[in-house]
Amino acid sequence: MTFHVPAVDISPWVLQGSAADRARVAAEIDAACREVGFIQILGHGIDTNVVDGLASAMDDFFLLDADSKKRWIAPKGTNRGYTPPKAESLSLSLGVESASRMNDFFEAFNVGRAASDFPLLDLNPAEYAENLWPTVDNYRSRIEEWFSEAGRVARTMTEIFACALGLEPSFFDRFTDHSIDVLRMNNYALPPGTVDLDGDLIGMSEHTDFGIVTVLWADQVKGLQVLADGEWNDVMPSDGALLINLGDLTARWTNERWMSTLHRVKPPIVDGTIALRRSAAYFHDGNADAVVTTIPTCVEPGKFTIYEPISVSEHIQRKLAGSRAGQKNEAAEREASRVLAARP
């Protein structure tokens, strides 16, 4: 069977279309989440100028020299700022060893919602860290504009998810009113000599996203691969489309009616160099203090609940301890078994 990422036009939800049209979109999303877990969405309503602003801001930062970028490495324990190449191994976040422990060659820059965004709440400053903003002209304004729009799309998707699952449209609101939302901007085209162009080259190793839903902008360049039916399949966005994929918490809520999507990045090598590939993933992860418990209607008669309740904070800390601190996550055996089954 040929692998295919479904495309869904969500404009009836963005533009307040008819109830029938919104129900049709919800049904299409349910089918895509059951079958693939990766979706191309059209009709999201983000202006091309905002997309261009994101891409240019990313280029302006990543084209700086290495020493300049390292000035913006985040304090240890905070998910903000610059991550240099070979500082992470995403596969450890789901308990799978790579060839070396920290060998993902991508570089990244993270921003997110901060404790100061919620002055009336007593939030953990490590989980809601303040952002670092590079001294690059108009960098912050361009990124914040994208962050706002991607967040709007993520919240639209959770509303569609709720309806697709037969729940009240506002079901996820109480779990996300001070959500840990992070935008991770990734760059794979690194200077010559930064990485060895060998057969084990890994841009970003196998992993699932941690939270509820990810909104992904990416260049139309091969590299992103999704695990489906035990095989790795290339995925590339269509013109004007954003990619949507499900995180671990959604799999927990739905008792794996919808699976978190295993994916990796292996960018192509062209004429002895890594082809330019950029991506920006907006992670909508939920409130740190929210407890995720399986939705009763997602447990079929005669079936059992796969996951124990867990707080968003505890789950994310386990995953980050794997990817960033090199600690193998022993609590992700279900995801790890899928990865290992697909490896030669």
CATH number, domain containing residue 124: 2.60.120.330
pLDDT band at 198 (very low <50, low <70, confident <90, very high): low
Inform me whether the pLDDT recorded for 73 exceeds 80: yes
Tokens standing for residue 50:
């905002």
Inform me whether the pLDDT recorded for 100 exceeds 70: no
More confident residue, 343 or 33: 33
Q: Is residue 126 part of a domain?
A: yes
Give the SS3 label for residue 285.
Answer: strand
Beta strand segments in the chain, E: 7-9, 38-42, 81-83, 107-112, 179-187, 204-207, 213-218, 224-228, 231-234, 242-246, 263-265, 269-270, 273-274, 278-287, 291-292, 310-311
Structural domain count, the chain: 1
Least confident of 164-173, 201-210, 218-227, 308-317: 201-210
What's the gap between Cα 309 and its chain centre?
A: 22
Q: Is residue 162 part of a domain?
A: yes
* Residue 264 belongs to domain spanning: 7-342
pTM: 0.90
- The residue-averaged pLDDT of 93-104 equals 54
Q: Is residue 185 part of a domain?
A: yes
Tokens standing for residue 274:
């890594």
Q: Is residue 2 part of a domain?
A: no
Inform me whether the pLDDT recorded for 43 exceeds 90: yes
Sign of CA dihedral 223, 185, 144, 148: positive
Average pLDDT, the chain: 87
More confident residue, 236 or 162: 162
Inform me whether the pLDDT recorded for 267 exceeds 60: yes
Q: Is residue 1 part of a domain?
A: no
Sign of CA dihedral 20, 26, 31, 32: positive
Q: Show the CA angle centred on residue 70, arms to residues 322 and 185, nearest 5°.
A: 60
Sign of CA dihedral 334, 2, 34, 281: positive
Inform me whether the pLDDT recorded for 182 exceeds 60: yes
pLDDT at 315: 92
pLDDT band at 199 (very low <50, low <70, confident <90, very high): low
Inform me whether the pLDDT recorded for 101 exceeds 50: no
- The residue-averaged pLDDT of 242-262 equals 94
**pLDDT tens column, 131-162:** 999 999 999 999 999 999 999 999 999 999 99
pLDDT at 99: 45
Q: Which residues contact 222 (CB under 8 A, 6 or more apart)?
A: 234, 236, 267, 268, 275
Query: What is the rounded CA–CA span in Å between residue 79 and residue 178?
Result: 16
Q: Is residue 282 part of a domain?
A: yes
Q: Is residue 88 part of a domain?
A: yes
pLDDT at 108: 94
Q: Is residue 186 part of a domain?
A: yes
More confident residue, 241 or 227: 241
